[in-house]
Amino acid sequence: NLDVPGGNIQANEPGILSLGKFVRADLIPSKRKEMIHAHHGTIPKLMTVPPAFFRKAVLEDIPYPVGAAYVQCANPLLAYANSRQTYDALMKLDFLAVSDIFMTPTAALADVVLPAATHFEFNDIGHYGLGHGYILARPKVVEPPAKCWPDIKILNEIGKSMTSAEYWYDNWEELLDSVTAPAGFSYCQFVEKGYLKGKDQFRKYEAKGFKTPTGKVELSLSQSKKIMVAAVPQFDGYPEPEDPEYPLVLTSAKSRYYLHSSYRWLEKLRKKQPQAQALIHPDTATEYGISENDEFIIETPSGRITQFASLTNTIHPKVIYAAYGWWFPEEKTEDLYGWDRSNFNMLTSTEKLGREFGTPNLKGINCRIQRK
């Protein structure tokens, strides 16, 4: 199944600017060792900071203080585990700026909100840096409103104001040409073609081996001792021990009508699913006096929320499937659009994190319910 037609392939890129050169990683060779998560012992090549470690830096100055943040393409007040702690961290910041296409609970907390252009309103390159072996032309369809900028333009201008202008572009769209130039195309020529694809080449391991220290498929991690992780995955039992005070098991399911915490403001989608619906087995609902569409309380040791019952016999009677990403754009800005009422991450904890990636447990959480 590895590197064969129809299998899990290691695709060749189409001769474009590599992602490493694009982000100028050469200018910050030691940055990975200085990033927040390095203090917590995550795997060496992790280049993003897990949210729990960001919050620890803000709230406790560990490993160093963080006083400002810029948020784009995200709604951390809803999306990050332990939403209450996220709220505390964002409130403690000296300065918070958010770029978004809509006023979200996170944006409502910000000192500055920058209106962003939608993906229909700027020229872009699809699938760049994802290792898929191809990139897609995504030319803009309409002009954005005058004050709405693409995220990449905002970053380019912030970069010029904070560091030497030589590292940035006079016009942000020049970077599109820089990506396609090594393949012999300007961005406009790329748009005419529609896509660029790397050469199909299979079974490359026969000549070069795999991209592992041993050159082989490693079912047991050869560098496990070096990076201090288990050589093979281990099952350490259920995420939480059984607790008679919280006899049910909580997990979450994303809605087919929304993307993460986005688009609750779209009327057509809200008509499809107007409220946060939690799946519950009919036998369990009967036991707790809950009927279809009843609002009921879901509680864990971390917090409590309310959602509306959707009865189904497709889940185990002990399991509650809560909806994820819910807030209410129709409500007041000063109340942060009801961010904590039905927000699944009010129920999650970051007390126990996976050391390798700093990940919290989001499934198999002890919970209890009652009719509101």
pTM over 0.85: yes
Q: What pLDDT score does 117 carry?
A: 98
Which 3-state string (H, E, C) describes the chain?
A: CECCCCCECCCCCCCCCCHHHHCCHHHCCCHHHHCHHHHHCCCCCCCCCCHHHHHHHHHHCCCCCCCEEEEECCCHHHHCCCHHHHHHHHHHCCEEEEEECCCCHHHHHCCEEEEECCCCCCCEEECCCCCCCEEEEECCCCCCCCCCECHHHHHHHHHHHHCCHHHCCCCCCHHHHHHHHHHCCCHHHHHHHCEEECCCCCCCHHHHCCCCCCCCCCCCCCCHHHHCCCCCCCCCCCCCCCECCECEEEEEECCCCCCCCCCCCCHHHHHHCCCCEEEECHHHHHHCCCCCCCEEEEEECCEEEEEEEEECCCCCCCEEEEECCCCCCCCCHHHHHHCCCCCHHHCCCCCCEECCCCEECCCCEEEEEEEC
Indicate the Cα dihedral angle 174, 180, 183, 184, nearest 10°. Answer: -50
Q: What pLDDT score does 15 carry?
A: 94
Side chain identity, residue 248:
L
Percent of the chain with pLDDT over 70: 100
Residue 37: name the closest of 50, 25, 21 by CA.
50
| Per-residue tokens: 325 | 């990403």
Q: What pLDDT score does 239 carry?
A: 84
Q: What pLDDT score does 253 carry?
A: 87
Q: Degrees (nearest 5) of the Cα angle 242, 243, 246? A: 120
246 strand-pairing partners: 243
Q: What pLDDT score does 71 carry?
A: 98
Q: What pLDDT score does 193 carry?
A: 97
Q: Go through the domains of the chain in sequence order and give each one's CATH number.
A: 19-197 (3.40.50.740), 248-371 (2.40.40.20)
Helix axis angle for 83-92 and 51-60, nearest 10°, is 50
For residue 282, is the peptide bond before it cis, meaning its omega torsion is within 30 degrees of 0? Answer: no
Q: What pLDDT score does 233 carry?
A: 87
Spatial strand order in the sheet of 112-115: 68-72, 95-100, 112-115
| pLDDT, tens only, 262-311 | 999 999 999 999 999 999 999 999 999 999 999 999 999 999 999 999 99
Chain centroid to CA 16: how far? 26
Q: Degrees (nearest 5) of the Cα angle 127, 185, 145? A: 60
Q: What pLDDT score does 209 carry?
A: 94
Per-residue pLDDT of the chain (372 residues; tens, 9 = 90+): 999 999 998 899 999 999 888 888 788 877 778 889 888 888 877 878 999 999 999 999 999 999 999 999 999 999 999 999 999 999 999 999 999 999 999 999 999 999 999 999 999 999 999 989 999 999 999 999 999 999 999 999 999 999 999 999 999 999 999 999 999 999 999 999 999 999 999 999 999 899 999 999 999 999 999 888 889 988 888 888 899 999 999 999 889 999 999 999 999 999 999 999 999 999 999 999 999 999 999 999 999 999 999 999 999 999 999 999 999 999 999 999 999 999 999 999 999 998 889 999 999 999 999 999
| Per-residue tokens: 359 | 């990940």
Return d(Cα 151, Cα 133) in angstroms, integer. 24
